[in-house]
Amino acid sequence: MEIYPLDRYYFSSKESVVDKDGTHEDRIRRLQSNYGAHGLRTCVRGVLLVELYQQPHVLLLQVRNSTFSLPGGRLRPGESDTAGLKRKLSRKLSHNNSDDGDWEVGECIGMWWRSDFETLPYPYMPRKPKECTKLFLVSLPMAWQFVVPRNMKLLAVPIRQLHDNCKTYGPIISGIPQLLSKFTIKIMQD
């Protein structure tokens, strides 16, 4: 897997993305009501890597100086994983919200399930799954322009800071180093 230095990339901002959730309770209520109407919720998330200080870093979004998340989101009914992830990556990271972009979506490296919306997810399917989150590798080209909504920050976090750090990043993000461990990461220099 080839990754490029962070300084190959350009960063700018665009209008805020509307936050549907409001309070934590609002979010849980919305997810439960959606589950009642549509069944299993499927989310797709991208793992994007860059080099900084000779170390691989993962790109994370931070909302309101608190929660960290991987770029991505919920699939529309009938939408494929790849099409949905490209749409969500454009919405969170590109100038053109509706553009599918030239995102290069690679293999699925892991999946997590929730049996309800208030507890931690598991890396195996429970009896009655309510949500499935699939992680995909996304290869970045040598140069790229990221355009991030004003209410979010895009951060590059070293892989070794994520490992075994469920408290700060949650189980899904803190498990990424393990899911990447089988790959040989090649840092491309000028």
Chain positions contacting a copy of itself, by CB under 8 A: 56, 107-112, 122-124, 159-160, 163-164, 171, 175, 177-182
Of the candidates 150, 137, 115, 112, the residue with the CA atom closest to the CA atom of residue 18: 150
Hey, what amino acid is at 13?
S
Q: Are 118 and 28 in contact (CB under 8 A)?
A: yes
Cβ distance 57 to 80 under 8 Å? no
The residue among 120 and 142 lying less far from a copy of itself, judged by its C-beta, is 120
Please, what is the minimum distance in Å from the beta carbon of residue 114 to a copy of itself? 13
Minimum distance of a copy of itself from residue 152's CB (angstroms): 27
Answer whether 17's CB lies under 8 Å from 149's CB. Answer: yes
Report, in Å, the least distance between residue 160 CB and a copy of itself: 6
Q: Which is nearer to a copy of itself, 107 or 190 (CB)?
A: 107
| C-beta of 148 vs 162, nearer to a copy of itself | 162
- Compute the distance between CA of residue 109 and CA of residue 180 in angstroms, rounded to an integer: 8
d(CA 2, CA 103): 15
Q: Which is nearer to a copy of itself, 52 or 109 (CB)?
A: 109
To the nearest whole angstrom, how small is the minimum distance from the Cβ of residue 11 to a copy of itself? Answer: 26
